[in-house]
Amino acid sequence: MTLSYAHGTGDTALLGDTIGANLARTAATWPDREALVDVPAGRRWTYAEFAADVGRLACALLASGVAKGDRVGVWAVNRAEWVLVQYATARVGAVMVNVNPAYRTHEVEYVLRQAGVSLLFASIEHKGSDYRAMVDEVRPSVPELRRTVYFGDPSWEEFAALGAEVPTEELNSREAELSCDDPINIQYTSGTTGFPKGATLSHHNILNNGYFVGELVAYTEQDRICVPVPFYHCFGMVMGNLAATSHGACIVIPAPSFEPRATLEAVQRERCTSLYGVPTMFIAELNLPGFAEYDLSTLRTGIMAGSPCPVEVMKRVVAEMHMAEVSICYGMTETSPVSLQTRVDDDLEHRTGTVGRVLPHLEVKVTDPATGITLPRGEAGELCTRGYSVMLGYWEEPEKTAEAIDTGRWMHTGDLAVMREDGYVEIVGRIKDMIIRGGENIYPREIEEFLYAHPKIRDVQVVGVPHERYGEEVLACVIPLDAADPLTLDELRAFCRDRLAHYKIPSRLQLLDAFPMTVSGKVRKIELRRTHGS
């Protein structure tokens, strides 16, 4: 019997750098290669220019009185200034607090207070959200917030100009005080109940994770990475930005927030070699009118994460988007984020049926949620991970940290997983998403994967909803391929009959135009249950 435990080995050592030191090395090696392109703003930086602007902004942070360990918030959609702040805060040892752009006053007030943010960088507005008005509203309740700087506003230019007051030697002196184990980033996880928790991450956590994600898709200084996923999330700022800068690759920003047309235009115009997204983003791109007219021939790889990729979607991504080396990643904010990843030469089945195998220098295991005992391979249990990527803890919440990270330093993910004999891992659902119907355990992912093959279904999510007799019943929430020819429940059940066990067949169907999503592109199943479960 082989246990569900795997340890990632490799010939490449972990990086012992701070983020600032790593950027300096990259800029010295490839000063003339492009580092950053902000497509909607029409701006671009070589590595020499990018490092210089990061240095000037770091000096401005020093001039404004930012001390090592001070919390600096960023509440903004994607743009070049976001990236500059990310690296500048790292150079002075400030803790950057990522604030979800979808947050409103109630949530942003909590985050600013809980993290003790003293300086906030923010968008002015985006898609009807007036960030300046919201900051003004919460400011009286956030006494530690002493300054707000808005991107695209004179306040940004005024702040950046402060850098001229501080000599480079002062910045070098500050950097000499920094350790790669210092906390450098707080990312608030989207809690399903109560307020979100602030996962606290170090240079060592996120720099190494970005670096090894990039290693596994074979990034070099020749790569150009299109990043339509949000920077506020690990997917954007770690797997995108840090994977790029640790390899001398270029970060391409296609739009402030995800737009399928802008993404494809950026790939075509900037000759991108890699494209990121959650499966719903790729589905939107593939279904865009005129999709076939875009020249995507420069693409070779990319990363899909956030939720499982349907087989048919993966086939099209490989065949029609030229992403033969696309990689699936699995992780969570608390693990910086990636712990499992498919390799560039994995076959279609491994890329769609699993989330890959463990990264170098990390450990994973599948345990019995009740006893904590490691299960044999092939049995479903809770996925746990351990290693350099595990967060320092939740910001100022030791009790919640202890609930997530056990005494052996294993991070408990809350995900139900099966480790195959070859070490690849299947995610079969969230422990809390598992449907229990009349004593039978049902994993929504299995039903979703099956239903994707129905010719009338564009996208589908399966959730459990209350049932008087069985405890729960199966609800299929479907976005139809053609709104003029909608799917019926009878058609759905006929499609499943004799092909799924009777208790897995949906007893309810809800047709939708779109799914409720988080800003990072994940479907909010809890909202589907709440809205359509009665």
pLDDT tens for 179-220 read 999 999 999 986 544 678 999 999 999 999 999 999 999 999
Indicate left, alpha or beta for 270 from its phi (over 0: left) and psi (-120 to 50: alpha): alpha
The whole-number pLDDT of residue 519 equals 63
Nearest-5° Cα angle at 457, 453 to 459 = 95
CA nearest to 306, candidates 526, 519, 8, 79: 519
Q: How far apart are CA 414 and CA 433, in angstroms?
A: 10
316-373 pLDDT, tens digit per residue, is: 999 999 999 999 999 999 999 999 999 999 999 999 999 999 999 999 999 998 899 9
Which pLDDT does position 175 carry in this prediction?
98
Structural domains in the chain plus CATH codes = 433-532 (3.30.300.30)
Tell me how far apart the alpha carbons of residues 431 and 412 are, in angstroms, rounded to a whole number: 11
Range with the poorest average pLDDT among 209-223, 368-382, 497-511 = 497-511
Beta carbons within 8 Å of 431's beta carbon, 6+ residues apart: 369, 382, 414, 415, 416
Whole-model pTM over 0.85: yes
Pairing of strands 183-189, 95-99: parallel
Q: Which residue has the higher pLDDT, 55 or 311?
A: 55
Per-residue confidence (pLDDT) for residue 193, from 0 to 100 = 44
Best CA proximity match to 419, nearest among 430, 409, 411, 427: 427
How many residues are recorded in the chain? 534
Buried b (16+ CB within 10 A) or exposed e, 239-254: bbbbbbbbbbbbbbbb
- Reported as a single tens digit per residue, the pLDDT across 137-189 is 999 999 999 999 999 999 999 999 999 999 999 999 999 999 999 999 999 98
Q: What is the pLDDT of residue 70?
A: 98
- Condensed to tens digits (0 to 9), the pLDDT of residues 17-33 reads 999 999 999 999 999 99
Q: Shortest CA distance to 382 belongs to which of 399, 364, 398?
A: 364
Separation of alpha carbons 338 and 332, rounded Å: 7
Note the pLDDT tens digit of each residue in 446-479: 899 889 999 999 999 999 999 887 888 999 999 9
Identify the pLDDT of residue 400.
94
Predicted pLDDT at 395: 98
> Stretch 85-93: mean pLDDT, rounded?
98
Give the whole-angstrom CA distance, residue 314 versus residue 485.
25
Residue 429 has pLDDT above 90, yes or no: no
What is the predicted pLDDT for the residue at 190? 64
Q: In this prediction, what percent of the chain has a pLDDT beyond 90? A: 84
Is the pLDDT confidence value at 82 over 60? yes
CA 103 to mean position of chain CA atoms? 17
What's the mean per-residue pLDDT of the chain? 94
For residue 64, pLDDT over 90 is answered with yes
